[in-house]
Amino acid sequence: MLPVPSRPTPLLDDQFRPLNLADHYACPLCLQGQVQSLFLTEALACQRCRHIFTVDLPNQQIRVTDSPDSMGWAWTGKTWKIIRPAAQRLTQTIGWVAGLLIGLPATLVWLGGYLFPPLSSSPGELPFAVLWAGLTLVAHSVVVLWLLASYYQLPVYLGAMIRAWKYQYLS
């Protein structure tokens, strides 16, 4: 069981605080808890989400150890900055794949409706294929944006997920 953290002393905006095991910091994973040293180890643990982090003091970095993802963060002196290996950075290829996942299905649906129009269509009425292609475009855009938000750990997305988890399990 982790001890209850004391209130951190307020820092001035220009004050640098190096990462050390004796202090506690905001959790970079859940964004709501405090990470602090585990007793007799060179590791940190969050008092809220209970994740364990290994510490690299010379490089001022931590990595989550109890997760299949190898996520890591660097301490800037004031906040955490996410670390991604070079192979995981968003590249132009991933951008093209995201564009294809969004555009190709909608284009195929529209093209099918254009090449094979329905037999009965009133003048001035929006064709069913155009509506269906628009719905396909919106649905695939939502899925791709969700994947990118979870990959980049956007604070708005993480906050919404934490609130949903709290509502579901703590209500």
CA dihedral 8, 14, 15, 20 (to 10 degrees): 80
Instruction: Give the whole-angstrom CA distance, residue 37 versus residue 132.
Output: 54
- Predicted pLDDT of residue 130: 86
Q: With beta carbons less than 8 A apart as the criterion, state whether 136 and 105 touch.
A: yes
Residue 48: is its pLDDT beyond 80?
yes
Task: Provide the sign of the torsion angle of the four alpha carbons 76, 80, 81, 85, taken in this order.
Answer: positive
Instruction: Give residue-wise pLDDT tens across range 95-129.
Output: 888 899 999 999 999 998 888 877 776 666 677 88
pLDDT, position 167 = 84
Domain boundaries, the chain: 25-86, 90-170
At position 4, the amino acid (one-letter code) is V
Q: Which two tokens stand for residue 76?
A: 């800037």
159 vs 58, which has greater pLDDT? 58
Rounded distance between C-alpha atoms, residue 82 and residue 62, angstroms: 10
Q: How far apart are the first and last CA of the chain?
A: 24
Beta-bridge mates of residue 62: 55, 73
pLDDT tens digits for range 30-45: 888 899 998 888 899 9
Q: What is the pLDDT of residue 9?
A: 47
CA distance 145 to 155: 14
H or E segment to which residue 35 belongs: strand 34-37
Which region, left, alpha or beta, applies to residue 32 given φ > 0 means left and ψ of -120 to 50 means alpha?
Answer: alpha
| Percentage, residues of the chain above pLDDT 70 | 81
